[in-house]
Amino acid sequence: MDESQNSEMLEVEPLTEDPGVTHVLGGDGAGLIGAAEEHTFESATPDDFFKIPAGHDDFVGHEYEDSDFEVDTDDVPDSVPGETQTLPSGDTTVPEEYLAQHDPSEDIVYDDRETDGSAVYLHDAPWDNPPSPRLEDHPPIELEWPEGLDHDGLPKLPKGRWQDRELSWLAFNQRVFEQAQNPELELLERLWFLTIFASNLDEFYMVRVAGLKRRIAAGIAKPTASGLSPRQLLDQITEKAQDLMSQVHRYFHEEIRPQLDENGLKLVHFSQLSEAEKEKLHAYFRLQIFPVLSPLAVDPSHPFPYISGLSLNLAVIVRNPHSGKEHFARVKVPSILPSIIPVSDEGVLLKPEEKINAGQSVHFVPLVDVIAAHLDHLFPGMEIVEAHAFRVTRNEDLEVEEDDAESILTAMEEELLRRRFGPAVRLEVTEGMSTHVLDFLVRNLGIKESDVVRLPAPLDMRGLNDLHELDLPKLRYRPYVPVTAQGLAEVESSKPVDIFTSIRNGDVLLHHPYDSFSTSVQQLLVQAAHDPRVLAIKQTLYRTSGDSPIVQALMDAAEAGKQVVAIVEIKARFDEEANISWARKLEQVGVHVVYGMVGLKTHCKLCLIVRQEADGLRRYCHVGTGNYHPKTARGYEDLGLLTCDPEVAQDLTRLFNQLSGYAPRTTFHRLLVAPRSIRDGLVERIEREVENHRLGKEAWIRLKFNSIIDEGISDALYRASQAGVPVDVQVRGICSLRSGIPGLSENMRVHSILGRFLEHSRIFCFANDGDPDVWIGSADLMHRNLDRRVEALIKIIDPRQVSLLVDLVTKGVADTTASWRLMPDGEWVRFLNDAEGQPLEDIQETLMARASSRVSGRDLH
């Protein structure tokens, strides 16, 4: 840990000549805040700007005329702000700074006075000393076993048997970081996992930490299920999260960035460019950047502006050379502009990968750095004293009072407006920020010093995804092309199959992204939209995109006169605004849009198509574990079932009637539906395995999901383990379970797999005395899924598909498969090699090869 994170208060040597100023290094993560002498920024008066003191010449500075913005050089791209000028397919919505090899003290600081002098938060990192894989090095924690029986007449389970949800999530994000440290991965993929870590942590602060702070502020002191008070939990989160951020930045600077340099992607500071490169960026700034910027003065006569969440900003201190007054200004780095600018002596590059693939190097300069180097253009006649990047994270969790709103849609639109002004929950600043500048930001943002994080640039790792999107094959995963699922086509063909005929021939199990989404689910809806025999389409939509072929197919179907119903979940977190936009477009073409149910999110993944055939009406169904989103279907591992089984068709008809109308007494044949029957249905099957084991019958439980925190199901699994039933769990994210605890969970194994594809499917397998009972669906084992969402699990009945799913989960928790394993002390340990040092099986590589082997002539090497 860095000194600035110690619990004690340490005096450090003053960095100014003023003996009355003492700098104090605090243990709250904020660095140096609150010097003995407060630094104030002064108000500007008209005379400061419109009256020149006698004896002084006019102010010197850059003053542009309209003609200055005319293109006068062929070296500046002929494009407009907002177009992707630097990266052909990069995400330009998150500007960030990537400073190259330079001393941290040079971090956009124009003088060295009164900087805090704190060390970089770079300490010994865990990749230098990974946790031991030996079980004996992870002794189980000691739990307190209470006396007596519970309400079911069973011995009470021990206290402390549940891990904390938030700390478990941080452990998951640490596994994401560890995935970035795998030297066997291609360089840009390792970088990509760092961006995933950063994006995950942003959302964690916006939702989970924000909610925790709200409970503390409201005086709600109820302990969590793990026994921690809200304040204890917040302290642990702060320490762990800031420690992880420090590790990630150290790893990027010490491991990733040097390798980027070696491969021709040189992240550099503006000052490191050649004079020719600087001239090109001067022209680029004048033509493409300067007109978009809006510097805002902040002083007693100019209120502190609203700082939008996750935006990148410059805190700028300027001095009037005649009056000597200092002023604070804020410059927002526009998200509409490219965040990284590739430049050479030839100018700003539209396709930098052409040079890199040819063996040449390209300089990449962060947009924020270009702006910082041209601040004298924004403040002509003023002295630029110092400038520092900062970034604020705000509470962006939505709270919709549905019962009091005339419609969910109206309530959501109003709440989205309120979200913009959520309170700040984290402030990230670059390391060189002066004490008085940081103190000014802390006061005006209303944030606690413990929520301030000093980091080396870049503050926002997500912007590095622009580099990942470059077309550099040697630095990325080898492309994988999904294949058409078995059961839909015997051979690959450019001609679409008759998907309705294929489904009539038998249930089709889909496994994305190994099986193509476009030739299965997407093709089903496209064919249905244009098939004159299709009468109606009913569809749930949780996350998708407005330009999605799924949405377009529904619009085409409605315009063709078909009955189309879309159950749109506009409360899908962080997709709310987009969902409202394209849902209104659906309404405009005649789609019957239903905005979910009051009090419940509609999270189930269902599609029902009604078709007139020679022998009468037939209903075609799709039940899945993932969203109807073509893009994420290429990166998320998910399952789906295509069927025209009459029982499933009747189940989906009843469920859609529940969602769009009134059908409270509905019962189902092959579905378990939350919030009514999933928890009870799963507990019933767990208890059946316990009874079968007692009777000497075959009994085991094998589960795969994203998260588990539900106490009822967790305790049922503990009871099964106590009874001797083998319990195997593959979990990607949050896990409240503790495995390997004597007397509680010694028969339980918990593994986690992270890889090229995001493990997203949910599979629930039970031995059932030799006749496996297998279900797939949309629900994780969390309170929100089981109590506050409409979720659906479907029973798989085809023996071959049952066997495939059981084998999939069995392989996922096998000791021969590379994974993280949960140890008895609660630590996750990664296993990549066996005892002889040989690589363990990568299950995703195996599944890709298996799918590709179905395509004649495809190269598998």
The predicted pLDDT at position 130 comes to: 79
What's the chain's average pLDDT? 83
User: Which DSSP state fits 286?
Assistant: I
pLDDT tier at 716, thresholds 50, 70, 90:
very high
Q: Which of the residue ranges 462-466, 506-510, 712-716 would you say has the lowest mean pLDDT?
A: 462-466
Q: Letter for the amino acid at 711?
A: E
The predicted pLDDT at position 599 comes to: 77
The predicted pLDDT at position 17 comes to: 30
The predicted pLDDT at position 613 comes to: 96
The predicted pLDDT at position 464 comes to: 87
pLDDT tier at 489, thresholds 50, 70, 90:
confident
The whole-number average pLDDT for the span 88-108 is 30
Reported as a single tens digit per residue, the pLDDT across 799-810 is 999 999 999 999
The predicted pLDDT at position 399 comes to: 46
Residue by residue, DSSP assigns 426-478 as EEEEETT-BHHHHHHHHHHHT--GGGEEEEPSPS-GGGGHHHHTS--GGGSPP
Range list of H helices, 672-790: 678-694, 711-723, 783-787
Reported as a single tens digit per residue, the pLDDT across 330-385 is 999 998 888 899 999 899 999 999 999 999 999 999 999 999 999 999 999 999 99
Residue 173 CA to residue 165 CA, distance in Å, equals: 13
User: Which DSSP state fits 255?
Assistant: I
Q: Dihedral through CA 620, CA 623, CA 626, CA 627, nearest 10?
A: 50
208 is written with which tokens?
């989970």
Residue 86 CA to residue 343 CA, distance in Å, equals: 9
The predicted pLDDT at position 405 comes to: 37
Contact, 333 vs 314, CB < 8 A?
yes
The predicted pLDDT at position 484 comes to: 93
The predicted pLDDT at position 665 comes to: 64
The whole-number average pLDDT for the span 33-61 is 60
Residue 64 CA to residue 236 CA, distance in Å, equals: 52
Q: For the purposes of burial, counting CB atoms within 10 Å of the CB of 182, is it exposed (0-12), middle (13-18) or buried (19 or more)?
A: middle
Catalytic residues: 603
Residue 2 has pLDDT above 80, yes or no: no
The predicted pLDDT at position 626 comes to: 92
Residue 56 has pLDDT above 90, yes or no: no
Give, for 343, the enclosing helix (H) or strand (E). strand 340-344
Tally Cβ neighbours within 10 Å of residue 467. Answer: 24
Whole-angstrom Cα Rg for the chain: 29
Q: Which of the residue ranges 308-317, 596-605, 850-859 would you say has the lowest mean pLDDT?
A: 850-859
pLDDT tier at 200, thresholds 50, 70, 90:
very high
User: Which DSSP state fits 242?
Assistant: H
- Name, in order, each residue with C-beta under 8 angstroms of 459's C-beta and a sequence gap of 6 or more: 96, 97, 312, 389, 390, 391, 428, 429, 430
The predicted pLDDT at position 659 comes to: 87
Q: Which of the residue ranges 190-204, 402-416, 610-624 would you say has the lowest mean pLDDT?
A: 402-416
More confident residue, 357 or 221: 357
Q: Determine the longest span between alpha carbons in the chain, in angstroms.
A: 103
How close are the terminal C-alpha atoms of the chain, in Å?
Answer: 45
pTM for the model stands at 0.85
Residue 838 has pLDDT above 70, yes or no: yes
The whole-number average pLDDT for the span 187-216 is 93
Phi, psi angles (nearest 5°) of residue 326: -105, 145
The predicted pLDDT at position 666 comes to: 73
More confident residue, 414 or 2: 414
The whole-number average pLDDT for the span 315-319 is 95
Residue 28 has pLDDT above 50, yes or no: no
The predicted pLDDT at position 339 comes to: 86
Closest among 688, 727, 687 to 708, alpha carbons compared: 727
Query: Is the peptide bond preceding residue 19 cis, with omega within 30 degrees of 0?
Result: no
The predicted pLDDT at position 461 comes to: 87
Contact, 160 vs 226, CB < 8 A?
yes
Residue 692 CA to residue 769 CA, distance in Å, equals: 7
The predicted pLDDT at position 421 comes to: 53
Give, for 790, the enclosing helix (H) or strand (E). strand 789-796
Residue 39 has pLDDT above 80, yes or no: no
232 is written with which tokens?
């204890």
Q: Which of the residue ranges 68-72, 245-249, 488-492, 728-732 would you say has the lowest mean pLDDT?
A: 68-72
Q: Dihedral through CA 364, CA 367, CA 368, CA 374, nearest 10?
A: 100
Reported as a single tens digit per residue, the pLDDT across 285-308 is 999 999 999 999 887 667 888 888
Share of the chain above pLDDT 90, in %: 64
User: Which DSSP state fits 835?
Assistant: T
Q: Which of the residue ranges 322-326, 477-481, 661-665 would you say has the lowest mean pLDDT?
A: 661-665
What is each CA distance from 770 to 457, 747, 748, in whole angstroms? 57, 20, 20
Q: Dihedral through CA 513, CA 514, CA 519, CA 525, nearest 10?
A: -40
The predicted pLDDT at position 736 comes to: 96
Reported as a single tens digit per residue, the pLDDT across 809-828 is 999 999 999 999 999 999 99
Residue 475 has pLDDT above 70, yes or no: yes
- Name, in order, each residue with C-beta under 8 angstroms of 36's C-beta and a sequence gap of 6 or more: 20, 21, 22
Residue 392 CA to residue 390 CA, distance in Å, equals: 7
Residue 589 CA to residue 566 CA, distance in Å, equals: 12
> Cα 336 to the chain's mean position, in Å?
21
Tally Cβ neighbours within 10 Å of residue 10. Answer: 12
Residue 50 has pLDDT above 70, yes or no: no
Residue by residue, DSSP assigns 605-622 as EEEEEEEEETTEEEEEEE
Share of the chain above pLDDT 70, in %: 79
The whole-number average pLDDT for the span 458-486 is 92
Reported as a single tens digit per residue, the pLDDT across 771-805 is 999 999 999 999 999 999 999 999 999 999 999 99
Residue 695 has pLDDT above 90, yes or no: yes
The predicted pLDDT at position 110 comes to: 32
